[in-house]
């Protein structure tokens, strides 16, 4: 699946949600979800909400990386919930926490790359503007 919209549509169907029931889950209209999926334009805030509410890997939902259910960056409450539902060793708990932190690190690195690209483009545009003014 190549786009966020296609991945979200896949999860919606797999989990048996209608647009209306998914809308109730995340707090927006069914039409907004349908249009967002079709046009593949989903705000980052709602991507986070979908990932959390549908319990899917955020990196998979955004980029198609990894498993749909595995290795997603999650909130600490989710880690505590995971540990409360599973009898796990401290090694397994550490692995789960490490995976969570690794996901956050990957996201931060991606954002820094975008900032670097935008900064470079901004500098290029300033130089062009200076040349025009001369």
Residue 73's pLDDT band, with cuts at 50, 70 and 90, is very low
Which of 40, 39, 10, 15 lies closest to 25 in space, CA to CA? 15
C-alpha–C-alpha distance, residues 43 and 20, integer Å: 18
pLDDT tens digits, one per residue of 41-59: 888 888 888 988 888 888 8
Domains of the chain and any CATH numbers: 1-66 (1.10.260.40), 73-134 (no CATH)
C-alpha–C-alpha distance, residues 38 and 41, integer Å: 8
What's the pTM? 0.51
More confident site: 76 or 29: 29
């Amino acid at each position: 699946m190549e786009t966020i919209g296609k991945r979200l549509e896949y999860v919606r169907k797999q989990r048996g949600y209608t647009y209306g029931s998914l809308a109730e889950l995340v707090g927006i209209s069914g039409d907004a979800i349908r249009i967002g999926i079709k046009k593949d334009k989903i705000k980052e805030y709602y991507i986070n909400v979908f990932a959390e509410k549908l319990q899917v890997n955020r990196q998979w939902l955004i980029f198609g990386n990894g498993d749909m259910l595995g290795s997603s960056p999650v909130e600490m409450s989710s880690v505590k919930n995971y540990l409360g539902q599973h009898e796990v060793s401290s090694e397994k708990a550490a692995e789960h926490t490490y995976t969570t932190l690794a996901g956050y690190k990957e996201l931060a690195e991606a954002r820094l790359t975008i900032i670097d690209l935008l900064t470079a483009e901004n500098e290029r545009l300033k130089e062009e503007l200076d040349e025009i003014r001369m």
